[in-house]
Amino acid sequence: MSKDKHYKFINNETDNVIYYLSVSADKPDLKHTLESTKHRLAIENGIYIDSIYYIEDTEKNNGK
């Protein structure tokens, strides 16, 4: 059983977290999932795609 990885998507212009995502750590197409989520968020929120970035949420991964 694999652990989940947690990511947060941030609007670079406002520094606000706009989305949280949890995925299986052994997901074979993790990069594709992250990039497609980024694209979807840009479209849904009317944000320029390069204004969104994602980082691994290590606090969630450490159980905090």
SS3 23: strand
Cβ pair 16, 41 in contact under 8 A: no
Q: How many CB atoms lie within 10 A of CB 24?
A: 13
Domain range enclosing 32: 4-61
pLDDT at residue 64 is higher than 90: no
pLDDT confidence tier of residue 3, bands split at 50, 70 and 90: confident
Count each helix (H run) and each strand (E run) in the chain, helices first: 2, 3
Tokens 């795609």 belong to which residue? 49
Structural domain count of the chain? 1
pLDDT per position as a tens digit, 24-62: 988 889 999 999 999 999 999 999 999 999 999 987 655
